[in-house]
Amino acid sequence: MPGVTETNTHNRAEFLKKLMGQATEQATQSGSGVANLVSEKGLSPYKGEWGEKQVLHLLRRSLFSVKQDELRYFSKRNLHQCLDELFAPIPAPSPPINAYNNGEHSDPHVPAGQTWVNATYGPLPPGFTPAMRMSLIDSFRRFSLKGWWAGLMVHQKPNITDKMLLFWHTAISTQMKQVMDARYSYKHLMLLHSHALGNFKQLIRQVSTDPQMLVYQNGNTNTASAPNENYARELQELFTVGKGPGSHYTEEDVRTAARVLTGWVDNFTSIDSTNVSSGFLPEQHDTGDKKFSAFYNNTIIKGRTGADGAKELDDLVNMIFATTETARALCRKLYRYFVYYNIDDTVEKNVITPLAHMLVAKNFEVKGVVRTLLSSEHFFDEKNMGCIIKSPAELVAGMIRQFNVQIPGDSDYVKQYKSWIELANLMENMDMNIGDPPSVAGWAAYYQKPQFHEFWINSDTLSTRNGVTETFLSKEGYTENGVLLKLDYLKFTAGLSNPANPGQLISDSVRFLCPVAFDDVQLNYVKKQFLLSGQSDDSYWSEAWNKYIANPGNPEALSEVDSRLQRYYVYLLSRAEYQLI
């Protein structure tokens, strides 16, 4: 939240008050009330209590929130078994398709229901320039791609891969709207997906010649006679060594790296090309020797001629990854994404440094490093629970998953894609346009001091967040572009342990939906206010619920429980506690 400064004793209760203007006395009274106080806990394997609270924490951070059946499933497993499933390999998803052919929305070379990821843009209609045609058709494909991506979040398996895909998009950002070729954007996303838990060094090597990145950072125009420093700068400043206290590369290092990177092109020769690969043009490469600064141990990359010039990129990547800062910078990003944004000296010593050593020892394989972090004492420290504001993707996709909202299946792919696109649009309305972050640095919430994740919340986005949840909970539901999406709170409530008991219903639903617990005073207030309609006897709710369960088709019985639950869930999902993971 703009204007809130960071301290080592950042108080979650005070933040929640500022966030929502609500009293949150419980957060101060409970052990979880103070976020990110100095913790001596490090990467030792967690061996403490293992119950629903810890399972929910692990799943909230690893997934786009939790379904009820997922919680029941993982609650029967120990931490090691949970991690085995979360980190298991999964197949690549099916590619996005043409779900938009309807008159003016025409993609002539892609039949309805078929994928466009390797298709041309087709012949020119009368009066159309190539740029006009590409812009028109590509906009349909980009909407298709963004909807497809939102669909991956909503329909994810209980597996960390899709959460890692968003991480890599924040860590190695590009913008679809600047590249203007959805085929390039799809190829780039699949590169990130395939390396989600793979090798960071290999990922950077491949990203450096990825068609999307070449176009986005003008690497395809970087030649010996007209060097372009864009990617050379971002490669070091944002993607690898970063801007940490030990990162001392120089402006000359940027210029020298740009010389190494000359000659790479995206092979995009015409808008009818189906070739979305990249290539190296020796005649455009700077063949001179390249000497780097003391930060890189005065490394000299020997200039090469002909096709061998492409090998200089490997030398550059090896040089960059030989620095200790590259491992540290990635581990800081992982920490901020999965644990908390404030990295003090204690966290740097007890968590970041040993994680970086492990990353180097594993030759930059990411899987073991992330798993070690998510199984550590530090990760399960109570201070690190419920202290991150949900991103719009986590809020929107999480809400759909928590209430198991039914989205049309593949047999009705037009409505399916419309639903997914609407979810992507909602994320954009909350300042997270997936595929198009504000800049190459990504979203400020992941890197900008001192606010970090508090950037997600302002007067506009908070109103939008609450408006969305309220609309999804309304009798009419969310209706847009022929799409109807509703949260089935009756079915959700029926899935709780004992919904006929109003106290248990409130306790279970709060625990499942909010990582910051309510105290007994709050729980009793909510029960009396919403389920008992001001009455004191629990039977006032129990009888109404049992009457409804006995005859769900009875309009009177349905109305009696529906109206109370609707008001309750509108209240609960508007709470500051619901905005956290």
pLDDT mean across residues, the chain: 91
For 558-565, what is the mean pLDDT?
A: 97
pLDDT at 453 over 80: yes
Residue 128 binned pLDDT confidence (cut-offs 50, 70, 90): low
Please, are residues 454 and 4 in contact by the beta-carbon 8 Å criterion?
yes
pLDDT at 378 over 80: yes
pLDDT at 71 over 70: yes
Q: What token pair was written down for 15?
A: 């933040």
- At 109 the pLDDT is 81
Q: What token pair was written down for 200?
A: 């960071």
Strand partners, 301: 290
Q: What phi, psi does 56 have (nearest 5°)?
A: -60, -40
> For the ranges 109-113, 153-157, 298-302, 331-335, which has the lowest average pLDDT?
109-113
pLDDT at 31 over 50: no
Radius of gyration of the chain measured on its C-alpha atoms: 26
pLDDT at 333 over 90: yes
More confident: 271 or 534: 534
CA–CA dist 385, 379 (Å, integer): 8
Please, are residues 531 and 541 in contact by the beta-carbon 8 Å criterion?
yes
pLDDT at 455 over 50: yes
Longest dimension (CA), the chain: 86
Residue 386 binned pLDDT confidence (cut-offs 50, 70, 90): very high
CA–CA dist 539, 123 (Å, integer): 70
Q: What percent of the chain has pLDDT over 70?
A: 89
pLDDT tens-digit map of 185-204: 999 999 999 999 999 999 99
- At 14 the pLDDT is 54
- At 41 the pLDDT is 83
- At 398 the pLDDT is 98
CA–CA dist 392, 429 (Å, integer): 9
111-123 per-residue burial string, b: 16 or more CB within 10 A, e: under 16: eeeebbbebbbbe
For 91-96, what is the mean pLDDT?
A: 97
pLDDT tens-digit map of 393-444: 999 999 999 999 999 999 999 999 999 999 999 999 999 999 999 999 999 9
pLDDT at 36 over 50: no
